[in-house]
């Protein structure tokens, strides 16, 4: 161990010691169940004292490092699991089914979630050596890799600033830079570069995703979407599915149903009204697709969630 509480990369027990330290930090500053914002911009801490059923949610572009417990994720037909020995990267906003599969009151699921800033990544990527262009298989917008000492070291330095809040304004930007550098030079670097690189296919596809997010309640024209992304329709479809594991229409449907669920949980409205608000012309189609995604009709699902 070093005086700062971090460790040397050559220490074989360093990762286990670091995991324990990160778990202690999260427990100290994560005082309630669920997500807890922190004074460090872009950093949230998460705690869960029990396992969960599979829940569909929109994952932002994030780095997630679980210090304790584990979580199972599904994106389209792809499945992933990450725990204290792996980290998760999502390079674009994705509708994902997530389930905490290892947690208890004695050993809660503890996770640090860092929001990825595409602009900051793009600025840094130009000065960081690259192993070459991303391969087709690396373009999926979600990936899990083994946690390495350099990544954990950078994570601990940033989270550790919570103990000295007066240092956050000056040191947090520097530690963020160090963390992004470790990610760009690690196993997930190609995934991040594919989105951040200006005028790349990944960057163009990300523009299409942003357009759908901002207009999910409107009829979707693939011609207009391809024009927005400056891509042919066939290229858009290919790269969109490679990045999100779903088509643009399927992505839009997930966003609509997620928004409908959120509205019904926060407002006193019926299913037919919500269906129209999120862009459905047929309430019956809305109910069928809602049940297929969430496992129950709208009203029953919302009552269960409450």
The one-digit pLDDT tens for each residue of the chain (306 residues) are 333 344 444 444 688 999 999 999 999 999 899 999 999 999 999 999 999 888 888 888 999 999 999 999 999 888 999 999 999 999 888 999 899 999 999 999 999 999 998 888 888 988 887 765 544 344 789 999 999 999 999 999 999 999 999 999 999 999 999 999 999 999 999 888 877 776 678 888 988 999 999 999 999 999 999 999 999 999 999 999 999 999 999 999 999 999 999 899 889 889 999 999 999 999 999 999 999 988 899 989 888 877
Contacts of 117 by beta carbon, 8 Å cutoff, 6+ apart: 42
Q: Which CATH superfamily, name and number, covers 252-305?
A: Homeodomain-like (1.10.10.60)
Residue 227 burial by Cβ neighbours in a 10 Å radius (0-12, 13-18, 19+): middle
What pLDDT was estimated at residue 132? Answer: 52
pLDDT at 248: 96
Q: CATH classification of 14-196 is 3.10.620, yes or no?
A: no
CATH 2.60.120 domain residues, the chain: 14-196
Q: Which residues, 6+ apart, have CB-to-CB distance to 5 below 8 Å?
A: 21, 156, 160
CATH topology of domain 201-249: Arc Repressor Mutant, subunit A (1.10.10)
Length of the chain: 306
> What is the structure's pLDDT at 7?
42
Query: Could you write out the DSSP letters of every residue in 222-253?
Result: HHHHHHHHTS-HHHHHHHHHHHHSS-HHHHHH
CATH 1.10.10.60 in the chain, residues?
A: 201-249, 252-305
Q: What is the pLDDT at residue 171?
A: 98
């Amino acid at each position: 161990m070093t005086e700062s509480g971090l460790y040397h990369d050559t220490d074989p027990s360093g990762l286990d010691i670091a995991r324990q330290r990160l778990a202690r930090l999260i427990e100290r500053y994560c005082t309630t169940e669920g997500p807890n914002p922190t004074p460090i911009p872009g950093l949230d801490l998460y705690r869960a004292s029990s396992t969960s059923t599979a829940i569909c949610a929109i994952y932002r572009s994030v780095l997630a490092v679980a210090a304790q417990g584990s979580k199972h994720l599904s994106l389209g037909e792809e499945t992933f699991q990450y725990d204290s020995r792996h980290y998760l990267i999502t390079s674009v906003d994705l509708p994902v089914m997530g389930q905490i599969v290892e947690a208890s009151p004695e050993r809660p699921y503890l996770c640090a979630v860092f929001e990825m800033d595409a602009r900051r990544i793009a600025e840094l990527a130009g000065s960081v050596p690259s192993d070459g262009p991303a391969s087709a298989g690396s373009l999926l917008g979600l990936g899990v890799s083994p946690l390495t000492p350099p990544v954990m070291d950078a994570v601990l330095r940033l989270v550790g600033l919570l103990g000295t809040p007066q240092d956050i304004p000056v040191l947090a930007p520097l530690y963020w830079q160090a963390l992004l550098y470790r990610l760009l030079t690690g196993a997930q670097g190609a995934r991040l570069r594919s989105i951040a690189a200006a005028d790349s296919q990944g960057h163009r596809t990300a523009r299409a995703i942003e357009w759908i997010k901002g207009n999910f309640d409107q009829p979707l024209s693939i011609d207009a979407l391809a024009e927005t992304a400056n891509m042919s329709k066939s290229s858009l479809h290919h790269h969109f599915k490679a990045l999100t594991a779903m088509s643009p229409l399927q992505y839009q449907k997930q966003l609509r149903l997620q928004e409908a669920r959120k509205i019904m949980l926060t407002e006193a409205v019926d299913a037919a009204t919500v269906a129209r608000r999120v862009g459905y012309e047929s309430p019956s189609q809305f109910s069928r697709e809602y049940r297929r995604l969430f496992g129950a009709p709208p009203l029953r699902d919302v009552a269960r969630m409450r």
